Structure formats: C-alpha cells, structure tokens
Amino acid sequence: MFHVGGARSALFNWALARQQQGRFVLRIEDTDAERNRPEWVDGIISALTAIGISKDDPAFEGPHFQSHNAEAQRDAALRLYAEGKAYYCDCRREDLVARTGSQHLGYDGFCRERGLAYVEGRALRFRSPDGGATVVDDVVRGRTEFPNASLEDFVIARGNGSPVFVLANAVDDIRERITHVIRGEEHLSNTPKQQLLWNALGAEPPVWAHLPVIVNEKRQKLSKRRDKVALKSYLAEGYLSDAMVNYLMLLGWGPGDDVEIRPFKELEGLFRLEDVNKGSAFFDVKKLSAFNGEYIRGLSPERFFAECRRWLQAPYAPWAPERFDERVFEAVAGLAQTRLTVLSEITQYVDWLFLEAPPEDEVSWAKTMKAGAREILVSVRAQWGACDWTADGLKAALESVAAEHGLKLGKAQAPVRVAVTGRTVGLPLFESVEILGRERALYRIEAAIERLSETT
C-alpha cells in the first residue's frame, strides 16, 4: 500500500531532484522475498505516476532492486570483517538472556574479541565505537547526538552470509551516488547505524532530512489500521492527482506566503528543504477536499466530463445505462462543477435527472413534507403547468406561489425540490428543472401530491 506519507516523501525528493537537475532514484528493497511481489512494484510505479513522478522523466532513475546488488553487499561485509570493523558471532538470544538476566538488553559484545571465523550460522556484527557519540546533522531535525554506548554491535550479515537491510541500504546508496536521503522521522533512529557504515566504507554520508510525522485530527500518527492512508483510496474516491500533489507538498512545508493553490511546477521552484517544519503535520481531510474543489472548478468542461465519466457508469450510476443522456449531463455539468469537492459526488447531484422517479430520501421527505406542503405543490402544479419553461419563468411562478401562501421563496421551494429531485440540497433548482422538462417535473409533483394525500 502506497501511504500518503510515502507520497509526501516522494514529492519532496522529486521536487529537490528536479530543482537541482539531479536524479530521483527508485529502489525496491526486495531482500525479503516473503514481503515482495511483482504486482506490488507495479503498484508503487503506478502510484508515483499518479502524482506526476513518471519513470519516463529524465530525472527518474530506476527501479533498482536491492537483491540485484547482493554480491557487492556481501563484498562490503567481508571487507568490513577483513579490516577489523566487524566480527562473527555465534550467540543465541537465550545465551544473551542467560548472561545478562534480561530479555530487554541489547547485545553485550561477548564475541568481540573471540576471533571467530565464518561458518554457517554465525552472524556478522558491526563493531560500534566504544565511546563518544555519533552526530547526525539533519537538515530538518538539526544536530542530534547518539551516544555510542547506546548503539549495540548490530548485525550486518545473517548466518547464511546474506546482508541485512542496514548494510544493503548503505552499500546501495553509495553505489548509486545518493547525495540526499529524505524520509519520515521514524527512520531517524536508524540513521546513526547507517552513518557509521558509510564512514566505515570510506564514503561521505549523504545529507539527512527526516520529515515530520503526519497526524490525524486527534494528533495521532496516521495508521493504516485506523485511518484512511492509501493514496489510491483518495484517487479512487475522486480526488484529483493535482490537488493531492498540491496538498501533500504543503504538509510540513510552505513557501512562506499566503498562496496555497499553486501547480507543482511552481512549488518545485519554491521548495527549500531547510524550510521543512519540525512539528507534526496535520492531515486535514476537510482542507484536502477544499483544495480538490478548487481544482475541480478549474477544469475545462471537456476535462470535467472526462473526469466524471467513471461515476456516470456502472457500478456507480443507479440508473439504467440507456437512460443516460450526454446532452443532459453537459447542460447541467457547469452547475454541478461549482459544487463538488470530490468527483464521486457527481452521481448524487445528477442521478434524479436520469432516474424514472427521484431517489427516495426519507430524511429529506420528513424534513420538508410537513403541514402545508401539499397545498404548495398543488399551487406549483398549476403555475408550472402554464408558465414559460425557462429558469426565469419557473422562478417567477414559484415566487407567485410563495406570495400566495405568505412564504419566502426558500420555504416554498423546499417541498418542490424534494418532490422533483428527492433531496433537500442539490443543483440550482430552476436551471436544472428547466433541463428536466415540464412533463417529467409535473409528473413528480403529482406523485408527491398523491403520497401526501394518502398520509393526511
């Protein structure tokens, strides 16, 4: 699953790479065969493409696969052993517990000076510095010191000789000439180990930048078990990719002015890694929806229709396919476009135009069809049966009905809207009823009058 946090990290990396005429390197860390499948790789590339990070762009490099560099990673492990920077260890967990009397202490360095050679089953451990501290200079977090005493002699190769992630990652970064590592702050605790390995392998560590955690409205870290975090879920719901990119770029960073809605190309030019905030970033779905609404309103009529098309067809559309009329949709599209916050809302805005009868919304019916509603509908039936069938004519006729019953237009309009559209809110009533047509509108008003007559 491609998390919105991963999408934010990818966009920050992409912006910096393009801004500096560098490379965005996609590496698939596939050393754990149980957790890696070809379709997942396709999913990552598809998600990146959806937010504008295309493998066809000159700035894109990859995908590289960590498993393809296994020989170089093994060579690095053997080199560290030969240089005395790593040693073999045959301790089992139960041995450590027996020596220390604790289930929770890290490795105690028992095999450091035993001079063991490699045999099957012996892990290779990195010899961490005995004293002092490993200092990580992070562009976002600042200077962070990690006491070396707290860094156990960590495993860099398994008992079968295969490198573990921390070594494979450092070797691949060096081979691929990585200059910047921009990732979530949850990885900060791994950074001193990686930096020690870079130094031990004779390479200058990259620029580290650990991005602030993304939290929900309760200020809890976004979790796939609790929150909607998959990028594809938002795109499938009708959030435009340009709106998602714009919003994600502003999670934890901002250009320093009051302008929020701007294209990625502009954000790319303004992006400064050193301006990323330390504090957590609130993933505000309401604000994302507001962004999305702005982008929807900015679509051309042709693009709006194209983006809506999937929700005008099965399985989303509740009407029979033959009832859909593109000309009708095109006539109301502009009215709907100004109201949507996500594209999937289009179905409930226009379904009443393509259904034989309006959708049944009992809450809306109970709210509006109270005392006096039947009398209003009877008057409207008479007025709309003879008025000019234009938005202005329909409005003037309803204003006359409102005056007749001593009501404001809004009060008189409410039962008419529910009778014709099925809901209390929706498209501008008069413009859309004009498109529905006199015969269908009057038929629905008559049906509502009959229903009300049966309940009185």
* Ordered alpha helix ranges (H), 64-190: 70-82, 93-100, 165-175
Per-residue pLDDT at 405: 97
| Residue 278 annotated among the catalytic residues of the structure | no
The first and second tokens of residue 365, run together, are 């019916």
Per-residue pLDDT at 255: 93
- Percent of the chain whose pLDDT exceeds 90: 88
- Percent of the chain whose pLDDT exceeds 70: 98
Question: In this predicted model, what pLDDT tens digit does every residue of 331-354 receive, in sequence order?
Answer: 999 999 999 999 999 999 999 999
Question: In this predicted model, what pLDDT tens digit does every residue of 177-225 receive, in sequence order?
Answer: 999 999 999 999 999 999 999 999 999 999 999 999 999 999 999 988 8
Phi-psi region of 21 (alpha: psi -120 to 50; beta: other; left: phi over 0): left
Q: Given 193, 221, 224, 395, which residue is catalytic? A: 224
- Asked, as a colleague might, if the bond just before 38 is cis with ω within 30 of 0, I would say no
Question: In this predicted model, what pLDDT tens digit does every residue of 360-392 receive, in sequence order?
Answer: 999 999 999 999 999 999 999 999 999 999 999
Question: In this predicted model, what pLDDT tens digit does every residue of 278-287 receive, in sequence order?
Answer: 999 999 999 9
The answer to whether 308 is annotated as binding is no
Per-residue pLDDT at 35: 64
* Distance from C-alpha of 231 to C-alpha of 51, rounded to nearest angstrom: 9
> In b/e form, how buried is each residue of 285-316, taking b as 16+ CB within 10 angstroms?
eeebbebbbebbeebeeeebbebbebbbeeee
Per-residue pLDDT at 225: 87
Per-residue pLDDT at 99: 82
| Mean pLDDT score of the chain | 94
* Distance from C-alpha of 351 to C-alpha of 336, rounded to nearest angstrom: 12
Per-residue pLDDT at 33: 62
Please check the confidence at residue 456 and state whether its pLDDT lies above 70. no
Asked if residue 69 lies in contact with residue 175, where contact means CB atoms within 8 angstroms, the answer is yes
The pLDDT-based confidence of 101 (bands split at 50, 70, 90) is low
pLDDT average, residue stretch 114-137: 94
Asked if residue 163 lies in contact with residue 70, where contact means CB atoms within 8 angstroms, the answer is yes
The answer to whether 111 is annotated as binding is yes
The pLDDT-based confidence of 455 (bands split at 50, 70, 90) is confident
Provide the CATH number for the domain formed by 362-454 in this structure: 1.10.10.350
Question: In this predicted model, what pLDDT tens digit does every residue of 45-74 receive, in sequence order?
Answer: 999 999 999 999 999 999 999 989 999 999
- Asked, as a colleague might, if the bond just before 315 is cis with ω within 30 of 0, I would say yes
Lowest-confidence segment of 9-18, 33-42, 211-220, 336-345 by average pLDDT: 33-42
Lowest-confidence segment of 73-77, 159-163, 194-198 by average pLDDT: 159-163
Question: In this predicted model, what pLDDT tens digit does every residue of 284-334 receive, in sequence order?
Answer: 999 999 999 999 999 999 999 999 999 999 999 999 999 999 999 999 999
CA atoms 125, 126, 132, 136: torsion sign: negative
Radius of gyration from C-alpha coordinates of the chain:
32
The pLDDT-based confidence of 32 (bands split at 50, 70, 90) is low
The answer to whether 454 is annotated as binding is no
The answer to whether 186 is annotated as binding is no
| Stated pTM of the model | 0.90
The first and second tokens of residue 55, run together, are 């493998």
Checking DSSP bridges between strand 214-215 and strand 24-28, what pairing results, if any? Answer: unpaired
Per-residue pLDDT at 95: 82
| Cα 241 → chain centroid | 9
The pLDDT-based confidence of 432 (bands split at 50, 70, 90) is very high
For the chain, give the longest Cα–Cα distance. 102
Angle, CA of 126, 131 and 133, to the nearest 5°? 85
The answer to whether 387 is annotated as binding is no
Task: Return the beta strands (E) in 68-152 as ranges.
Answer: 86-89, 123-126, 133-138, 142-147
**Residues in CB range of 246: below 8 A, 6 or more apart:** 260, 261, 262, 263, 264, 267, 291, 295
Angle, CA of 316, 321 and 323, to the nearest 5°? 115
Please check the confidence at residue 424 and state whether its pLDDT lies above 90. yes
| Domain ranges within the chain, ordered by starting residue | 362-454
Asked if residue 413 lies in contact with residue 398, where contact means CB atoms within 8 angstroms, the answer is yes
CA atoms 301, 305, 306, 307: torsion sign: positive
